[in-house]
Structure 1
Amino acid sequence: MIFKRSLWVNVALTLGLLVLSTLALGAGQVKLTPLEVWQALWGMGTPVQELVVRELRLQRVLAGILTGAAFALSGCLMQTLANNRLATPGIIGIDNAATAFAVASVVGLTTSIAPPGMALVGAALATFLAFLLAGQTGTQGYRFIVAGIGIGAIAGALTQLLLSQVEIDTANAAFPWTVGSLNARSPGAVWGLGLVIVPSLIVALGLVRGLQLLRISTTITVSLGIALKRLRLVTLALSVMLTGFAVAVAGPVGMVALLGPELARLLNRHHGVPLFGAALSGALMMVAADWVGRWMLAPIEVPVGIITAVVGSPYLLWLLLRPATSGP
Structure 2
Amino acid sequence: MWREVSAESQARQRPGTERCERGAGDIVAPPGHWRLAWQAAGGSLPYSLLIDRRAFVAALILLLALLTASLAYLAMGSSPLPPQAVPAALVGRGDMMAVFLVQELRLPRLAAACLTGAAFGVAGCLMQTLARNRLATPGIIGIDNGATAFAVASVIGLGVSLAPPAMALAGATTAAALTFGLAAGGGVRGYRFIVAGIGVGAVFGAITQLLLAKVHIDTANAAYPWTVGSLNARPAGAVMLLAVGLSLGLGAALWLTRALSLMRFSDAVASGLGLRVARRRWQVLAVSVLLTGLAVAVAGPVGLIGLIGPEIARSLSSPRGVPVVASALAGALVMVLADLAGRILLSPIEIPVGIVTAVVGGPWLLWILLRPASRNLA
- What interval of TM-score do these two structures reach, taking the shorter chain for normalisation? over 0.9
What's the offset of the Cα at 1:318?
Answer: 2.7
Q: In structure 2, how many angstroms separate the alpha carbons of the residues matched to 1:240 and 1:271? A: 25
- 1:187 corresponds, among 236, 258, 275, to 236
Within the alignment, does 1:25 sit opposite 2:66 as a pair?
no
- 1:168 corresponds, among 201, 217, 227, to 217
- 1:302 corresponds, among 336, 351, 365, to 351
Within the alignment, does 1:244 sit opposite 2:256 as a pair?
no
Q: In structure 2, how many angstroms separate the alpha carbons of the residues matched to 1:79 and 1:22? A: 31
What's the offset of the Cα at 1:321?
Answer: 4.0
What's the offset of the Cα at 1:45?
Answer: 2.5
The AA in structure 2 aligned to 1:62 is: A
Q: Judging changes above 3 Å, is the alpha-carbon distance between structure 1 residues 109 and 324 closer, same or farther for their aligned structure 2 residues?
A: same
| Map of 1:217 onto structure 2 | 266
Question: Matched residue pairs, number?
Answer: 328
Q: Which has the higher helix share?
A: 1
| Map of 2:276 onto structure 1 | 227
Give yes or no for contact 1:289–1:304 (8 Å, CA) kept in 2.
Answer: yes
Q: Secondary structure at the match of 1:119?
A: helix
- 2:130 corresponds, among 81, 103, 111, to 81
Q: Secondary structure at the match of 1:252?
A: coil
What's the offset of the Cα at 1:323?
Answer: 5.9
Structure scoring higher RCO (CA < 8 A, sep ≥ 6) equals 1
- Aligned pairs (5 A) from 1:278-293: 278-293=327-342
Gaps in structure 1 of 5+ consecutive residues: none
Within the alignment, does 1:197 sit opposite 2:246 as a pair?
yes
**1:165-187 deviation per Cα after TM superposition (whole angstroms, max 9, x unaligned):** 11111111111110001111011
What's the offset of the Cα at 1:28?
Answer: 1.6
Q: Which has the higher strand share?
A: 2
Superposed CA RMSD in Å reads 1.8
Q: Which has the larger radius of gyration?
A: 2
Give yes or no for contact 1:265–1:272 (8 Å, CA) kept in 2.
Answer: no
| Map of 1:68 onto structure 2 | 117
Compute the TM-score of the two structures, normalised by the length of structure 1. 0.96
The AA in structure 1 aligned to 2:149 is: A
Within the alignment, does 1:273 sit opposite 2:349 as a pair?
no
Within the alignment, does 1:312 sit opposite 2:361 as a pair?
yes
What's the offset of the Cα at 1:224?
Answer: 2.1
| Map of 2:194 onto structure 1 | 145
Q: Secondary structure at the match of 2:285?
A: helix
What's the offset of the Cα at 1:44?
Answer: 1.9
More divergent stretch after superposition (102-111 vs 79-88): 102-111
The AA in structure 1 aligned to 2:317 is: N
Give yes or no for contact 1:72–1:281 (8 Å, CA) kept in 2.
Answer: yes
Give yes or no for contact 2:162–2:238 (8 Å, CA) kept in 1.
Answer: no
The AA in structure 2 aligned to 1:126 is: A
Q: In structure 1, how many angstroms separate the alpha carbons of the residues matched to 2:372 and 2:83? A: 45
